[in-house]
Structures are given as structure tokens and as C-alpha cells.
Structure 1
Amino acid sequence: MLGQLGHVMVGLVDNLMIGQLGAAPLAAVSLGNALVFIAMSMGIGFSFAITPLIAEADGADDLEGGRSYFHHGLILSSINGLLLFILLLIAKPILYYLDQPQEVVDLAIPYLNIVAFSMVPLMAFQAFKQFADGLSQTRYAMYATILANVVNVVFNYLLIYGIWFFPRLELEGAAWGTLISRFFMLWFVWEILRRKSKFIEYFKWSKREMIKWSIFKRILSLGFPTALQMLFEVAIFTGTIFLAGNLGTNPQAANQIALNLASMTFMIAVGLGVTATIRVGNQVGLRKYKELRRIGYSIFLLVFLIEAVFAILFILLKDILPVFYIDNMEVISLAAQLLVIAALFQLSDGIQVVILGALRGLQDVKIPTVICFISYWIIGFPVSFYFGQADQLGSMGIWLGLLAGLTSSAILLYFRFNYLSRKLIRTKETLIA
């Protein structure tokens, strides 16, 4: 959970520090990160394909298979990082055509130019992280992300405000802090993993087995639908940024505050989703399907209880949390209203991402991808678009659409896991009989 939370903490630090400069710079970070977060989520989603394959190989005690999945996954993730960087550079002119405040767009473009390049080290890091996660060794990525956040805070402070002999770069300073911290994160996880006895055999590269197109194909068959799942969900949250931008600078800044807080609790659930992928993948390798089902439901219950606590805290602290970001009373009031709805969809959001993780452990990704698309874009976004207009419910209406999409996703994905886990148990019992 801490490893996943580390990615969002970088954005949190940027928001907190940039928020001191005013509503327009905070809205600009929100707008720039809208595109970055889509790209990052697609890349992270793609790298998730590595974990169930490693977990299954580990459960089956297949070292050669695990090593091959690791090497091929690292190559594909690195290429993916470069492609996402190029895609962000190509996509940035879109910001001028989204009916956003001109001052916000002008501030966002230089920030985006720098942060886009951080996709390269971040995606390579993800390959190492998902590989270690698949072996149930999650703490090393946690160490890397925690230390990277420290590096980000230090360079943000120096470069945003121009401390000591460093120039005052404001938004661009936050972008440089993010870039430096992600290169540090990649170096640290590589350095620590290659020195551990658990991983030494996996770091041996064989020229004979360097490239196997069948392995690339299997990773792609899991990774591409998983990336689409992340894209569909993150894109609807990003859509709220653009819809809020149509309402003005202050609503967009308020939306960013609520979205950033909700993203942190979401990453806690994503961490448990990785846990579900690892443990379910292990049981697939061991062919213990009753244990698989028990483990899945145990994690679903755990995330429900954790997200319920977050929901209560959001309601109790709705007037306090936004104050840490900005001192604009209109923004604070709007953000407090959004946190009430964010509290409501905590449960659905947490449950759906953990069930997705369990299904990923079963290597079932295609039907869940369709479910995600229907939930977010056939059900959720039309609600956000209609009720999010200024003459309807405004920002509250935008977030009601998120609640509708996440709830439908959680329900449909639950039915999918229930069906598949029962089917595996029945099939095994039939074979034994």
C-alpha cells in the first residue's frame, strides 16, 4: 500500500507547495497532471501484467519461467515509458482546445514538458516493482518510493521558491523535483534488488533466452487490457478536471484538492489489489481454488473496512483538509462539498480495484475491461456531463457521475469473480471425481 501511495504522494507534495502560489498555479498543476496521470496509469496498468505471471511461476517453483517473465517485462515496460513520453509531448496542444482558462493552460505547458520525461524512469521502475511484488517482496519498492518522495520534497522546496543558490522556477521547479525523484527511485530499486540473494538468479541474463516472442505476446495479452482498465477509470476522473475547468478556475482548483485526497485513499486500495493479484496468482500455480476464493473474499472484506474508515474521516474532516492546500475560502468550501461524495464512493472504488486485482491473478482481463468501459463511460460519464453543467448541480453533479460509475463497476466485477472462482472449484472437483 505504501509503495502505491508513493506515486500519488509526489502529486500531493506538488499540490501542497504550488497551492501556496495561488489558485491559478494549482489549477495548472491539476491540468498538466491530468494528461500525465492518464499516461502514468496506463503504464502502471500495463506493468501489472508482470505480477501474476511471476506469482504463478513462484507458486509452481518455476525459476526459469519467472526469470524470463521478468526480463521480457522489463524490456516492454522500458519501451512503454519512452512511448508514453512521446505521446505526452504530442498530446499537449490538446490543452489549448479544452475550453480551459488561458492563464492556467499557459502555466501548465512548461510543467508538462518536464514531467512527461519522468515516464521513462517511472515505467522501468514499475517493471522492477511488479517483479518483486510477484515474489511477495513488496517492501523494497516501498523503500524506494518513500525515499523518492523525500528527494522530491527537497528539490521542490529548493526549486519552486528559489532557496539558496537555486533559481526560483515555481511550477517548473516542481516538475524538475518530480523528474529527479523518479530517476533516483529507479536507481535505488535496481541497486537494492540486485544485491539481495532472493533475486540474484533472476538478474542473470542469458543470450539464448533473451528474446522469446511468445513471452512478449503473453505479457502483452495481459498488459494491454489491464492498461485499458486503468485508462477507462483514470480518464473519467481526468474528465472531471476538464468539466470542472469549464466552471472556472476556483471549481477546478477545488476539484483538484478533492481528487488528490481521493487518489491517496485509492492507492491504498490499489496496494491491496496487488496483494490480491499475488495471492490469487500463487493459488493458481498451486491449483488450490478453494483457498483462492477464501483469500479473495478476505481481501475484499479488508478493503471494505479500510475504505469505510476513510469515508468517515472525509466527512468529519471535510472543512479542515482543504485548508492545507490553499487559503481561498471559495475553493475550500467547494472542495468540502466534493469530499462528502468522495466519502460515499470510497467503498465502491476500493472494492472494484481489489476485485480487478483478484481477476488479474486469475489472468482474466478481457471481460473486466469491457465491464470497466460500460461502468465508467456508458453509465458514469453521461451522469457527470449532464449534472455537471453550471445550470444543474455543477461540481457536485460531476462527482455524482463518478459515484454511479464506480458502484456499477464494483457490482459487475464481483459477479465476475464469484462466477469464475466457483467454476474453477467445480471443474477441479469434477476431474477428481
Structure 2
Amino acid sequence: MNLRKYTSEFKNNLKLATPIMMGSLGHLLVGLIDDIMVGRLGPIELAATSLGNSIFFIALSIGLGFSFAITPLIAESDGEGDKEKGRSIFQHGLILTTIIGISMFVMLLLLKPVLYYLDQPEEVVLLAIPYYEIIAISIIPLMIFQGLKQFADGLSETKYSMWATILTNVVNVLLNFALIYGFWIFPRLELVGAALGTFISRIVMVFFLYIVLMKKDKFAIYMRRLKLSELKKKRFRIIIKLGFPTALQMLFEVGLFAASVLLAGTLGAFPQAANQIALKLASTTFMIAVGIGAAATIRVGNQKGLKNYMELRRIAFSNFLLILIIMFTFTIGFMVFKDVLPWMFTDNLEVIKIASSLLIIAGLFQLSDGLQAVILGGLRGLQDVNVPSLLTFIAYWIIGFPVCYYLGSIAGLGTFGIWIGLLAALTCSAIMLFFRFNYLTNKLIKEKNELT
């Protein structure tokens, strides 16, 4: 195999992916900052944010899935050179993500009573409720931002959302410091302060990105608002047709990780806090895969628009190879620093001991987690979403969850057993999705060759 034909694309891939990585890491950093600052209040408080966020991220995953449909459609229209089509997709997509944000907020409020029936420690639930209520409403500005972000990403302009998330984190750090611990004229609000800081910073993020896009000439034609007569059910259906299965993919994966939080919670506040630490660290490296996956979506979508399937396959495989190299580095890092990293969050020795053992498994699944995310990005660029949704369901819920439950609860391995189940799910997902992508691209090349 001539590796050069793949490695030569690393520079182009990273040029697109790096701002998305930074932006994704910025989103995660909002929660990570909350956890680090809240973790200093105690393990009960850290477990409470974990519980509140576990439900929030299930709802968010649905919204994100729909928003991800915008990027490949914009990338394809950009490859075709059809700006009016791109404008229509963007405007319909932004309306849809706003409606979804409001719907997810209502759903989260309706789901609030569920927190009392998840077999979680009572003291954790009592602290989680007020945090959860404020975080829930922040999904509205976050989904509006997603509509703007995915549009800009589809045009290969990935740096603007990165700037927005950098600003968000600056605002979030300052507000968290003031509102969690109390500073100057600000009261000490602890978990409620963390939630308020996140909510306000997400509003700032939306306004910043909107203003930037409005001022750039490149986006002028796209930002011209659609008239009522230009709204078409067909356009909404196209986005929903692509977005709904993508939302299911996100839901299946995020749902499994949320289930791991709840399973850990049944073991007590300390195992739940340790589980949250390991999840946050693994999620941080996963954001690198999100960036590479988005680059794969954009570049595959462009080549699909050009109908250049040989080049499409080569570019996609260059992204697969790139993520394997990057994630292998993180695997080594998790193994080497497993006893050091948990100290970022807590000085509780019992929590640190549990978290350290979980980071061994987190290190092992870096490769499969990263690879499955990037392959999904490539399939999204092909606008192939239905079969991948089925494959992810099988991997996470037919294989992964039963292993998590059996090893964690029945076999008595606790959180370590839960994470073995996560490793099994991600590995199966990566293998099945790779076979799907390989089959589809070979089929497209064969069909084009037969036509010519």
C-alpha cells in the first residue's frame, strides 16, 4: 500500500479539522470547567452535575444529529457551485434547529421528574435539580449556534465557530469563578452558578457568530433571509430525512454513555464521580475525532458533488489513517498518566483510585472510538445514514449495554465492568461501519466505471 497517497492529504484534512477540533473542545471545555470548579466543592456536587448533564446530553444528541445534516448538504451544493440551493438549505436548517432547540427544552422540563426515579443517591438528586433546570434552557441558544456553525463548516469556513467557542470559554471561566465561589458583588451560588455561567456564555456565543457571518461578504447571499413564499416542505423533508437517522446515531451512542453514568450512580456517589472524570477525559480526546470526522464529511461531500468517487475514497481513507495515528498517541498518554489526570478534578483518594482504573479502559478504546466517529463522518458526507443508524444501534444496545450491565452489576466488576462494555460497543461499531463505507465506495466506483 502506498501510504504517501493518504498521508499527503493530512495537511488539507487538518486545515479543515483543526478549527472544528478547537471549537468542539471549546464546547466540551465549558462542561469540563464546570466539572473542575464544581469538583472542588466535593464529590457529591460533581456527581450532581454528572447526573444533570447525562439527561441534558441525551436531548442535545438528538438536536446535534439534525444539525449535522446541514453540513454535507451545504458541502454538496458548494461542490456543485449552486449558492441559491445552499442559501435555501441553510435558512431552512436554521429554522429547523431553532424549533428543535425549543422542543428539546420543553422535553427536558417534562423529563425532570425522571431524575427522582433513577435509583441515584438522594443527596445527588437534590443538588442536580436546580442545575438541570438552568442547563435545560441553554439548549435553545446552543441549537441556534449549531445551525449557524454547521452551515459555515459546510462552506469549509471552520474558523469562525472556533473563535466563538474560545470567547464562550473566556466568558464561562470568568462567570463560573464569580458565581460558583462568590466574588466581589456576586453571590456564592455553587452548582446554580455553574449552570448560569454556561447559559450566559452560550447566548454570547450565538450573537458573536451571527454578527461575524453577517459582516463577511462571502456569506452575504446566504444570510439574505428567505421570504415566506420561499419556504418549502420539500427542503425541510430533505434535511429531516438526513438528520433524523443521524440524530438516532448520536442518541444511541450518547444514550449508552448516559446509561453508564446511571449504572455507576447505582453503585454510589464516589463511583459516579469517578465515572464522570473518566468520561470527561475520554470525551476531550473524542473531540479530536469529531474534528477529523467533520473534515471527512465536508471533503467527502465536496467530492460527491463533483462525482469523483476515486478521489472521495482516497480522501476518506486519509482521514481514517490520520485519526488512528492521533488516537494511538492518546492511548499511550492515558496509560502513562492514569494516576495523575484524576487529580485535576478531585483530591478524594477513593474517587481517584476508581477513576485511574477506568482510564486504562479509556486508553484502550481511543482507537475504536476515534475511528468509528470519523467513518460516520465519511458516511454522512455520502449522505448514507439509515444503515449506519442500524449498525450503531446493534453495537451500542444489542452488544454494548448488555455487557455493561452484566459486568458492572451482575458480575460485580463495578465501573470497571461498565467500561469494558463501552469498549466492546465502540470496537464493534468501528468494525461494522468500516465495512459499510468500504462496500459503498467500491460500489459507487464500479457503477461509474460501468457508465463510462
State yes or no: 1:198 paired with 2:218.
yes
| 1:67-86 paired onto structure 2 within 5 Å | 67-86=87-106
**Corresponding residue number in structure 1 for 2:236:** 216
State yes or no: 1:291 paired with 2:311.
yes
In the TM superposition, residue 219 of structure 1 has moved relative to its aligned partner by 0.1
Counterpart Cα distance in 2 of 1:29 and 1:311: 27
State yes or no: 1:242 paired with 2:262.
yes
In the TM superposition, residue 332 of structure 1 has moved relative to its aligned partner by 0.3
In the TM superposition, residue 390 of structure 1 has moved relative to its aligned partner by 6.8
- Of 152, 164, 169, 1:144 maps to 164
Counterpart Cα distance in 1 of 2:36 and 2:139: 22
Given that 2:88 and 2:226 are in contact with CA atoms closer than 8 Å, whether structure 1 keeps it comes out as no
**Corresponding residue number in structure 2 for 1:106:** 126
- Of 166, 174, 188, 2:194 maps to 174
Counterpart Cα distance in 1 of 2:411 and 2:239: 47
State yes or no: 1:232 paired with 2:252.
yes
Structure 1: 5+ residue stretches without partners: none
**Corresponding residue number in structure 1 for 2:14:** none
Counterpart Cα distance in 1 of 2:73 and 2:368: 27
Counterpart Cα distance in 2 of 1:395 and 1:279: 39
**Corresponding residue number in structure 2 for 1:276:** 296
When residues 208 and 105 of structure 1 are mapped into structure 2, their CA distance, relative to the original with a 3 A threshold, is closer
* Per-residue Cα deviation, 1:285-334 (whole angstroms, up to 9, x for no partner): 01100000000100000011111111111111111110010010000010
Partner AA of 2:374 in structure 1: V
**Corresponding residue number in structure 1 for 2:178:** 158
**Corresponding residue number in structure 2 for 1:44:** 64
Given that 1:352 and 1:410 are in contact with CA atoms closer than 8 Å, whether structure 2 keeps it comes out as yes
State yes or no: 1:25 paired with 2:25.
no
In the TM superposition, residue 45 of structure 1 has moved relative to its aligned partner by 1.5
Counterpart Cα distance in 1 of 2:229 and 2:366: 45
Q: What is the DSSP-based 3-state SS (H/G/I as helix, E as strand, rest coil) of the residue aligned with 1:353?
A: helix
Q: After the TM superposition, list the runs of 4 or more consecutive aligned residues in structure 1 that deviate by more than 6 angstroms.
A: none
Counterpart Cα distance in 2 of 1:253 and 1:294: 43
Question: What is the count of residue pairs matched by the alignment?
Answer: 432
Partner AA of 1:203 in structure 2: M
Counterpart Cα distance in 2 of 1:367 and 1:114: 36
**Corresponding residue number in structure 1 for 2:279:** 259
* Per-residue Cα deviation, 1:249-279 (whole angstroms, up to 9, x for no partner): 1000000000000111111101111111000
In the TM superposition, residue 210 of structure 1 has moved relative to its aligned partner by 3.1
**Corresponding residue number in structure 1 for 2:144:** 124
In the TM superposition, residue 107 of structure 1 has moved relative to its aligned partner by 0.2
Counterpart Cα distance in 2 of 1:399 and 1:234: 14
Give identity over the alignment, percent.
Answer: 62
Structure 2: 5+ residue stretches without partners: 1-20
| 1:375-394 paired onto structure 2 within 5 Å | 375-389=395-409, 392-394=412-414
**Corresponding residue number in structure 1 for 2:431:** 411
Counterpart Cα distance in 2 of 1:210 and 1:322: 53
| 1:247-396 paired onto structure 2 within 5 Å | 247-389=267-409, 392-396=412-416
Counterpart Cα distance in 2 of 1:330 and 1:314: 19
In the TM superposition, residue 38 of structure 1 has moved relative to its aligned partner by 1.1
Counterpart Cα distance in 1 of 2:150 and 2:25: 15
**Corresponding residue number in structure 1 for 2:107:** 87
Q: What is the DSSP-based 3-state SS (H/G/I as helix, E as strand, rest coil) of the residue aligned with 2:218?
A: coil
In the TM superposition, residue 391 of structure 1 has moved relative to its aligned partner by 5.2
Counterpart Cα distance in 2 of 1:58 and 1:374: 34
Counterpart Cα distance in 2 of 1:228 and 1:110: 28
Partner AA of 1:26 in structure 2: L
Q: What is the DSSP-based 3-state SS (H/G/I as helix, E as strand, rest coil) of the residue aligned with 1:157?
A: helix
- Of 23, 30, 33, 1:3 maps to 23
In the TM superposition, residue 195 of structure 1 has moved relative to its aligned partner by 0.5
**Corresponding residue number in structure 2 for 1:53:** 73
* Per-residue Cα deviation, 1:192-220 (whole angstroms, up to 9, x for no partner): 01101110111112416531110000000
Q: What is the DSSP-based 3-state SS (H/G/I as helix, E as strand, rest coil) of the residue aligned with 1:357?
A: helix
State yes or no: 1:96 paired with 2:149.
no
Q: What is the DSSP-based 3-state SS (H/G/I as helix, E as strand, rest coil) of the residue aligned with 1:21?
A: coil
CA RMSD of aligned residues (A): 0.8
Q: What is the DSSP-based 3-state SS (H/G/I as helix, E as strand, rest coil) of the residue aligned with 1:193?
A: helix
In the TM superposition, residue 365 of structure 1 has moved relative to its aligned partner by 0.3
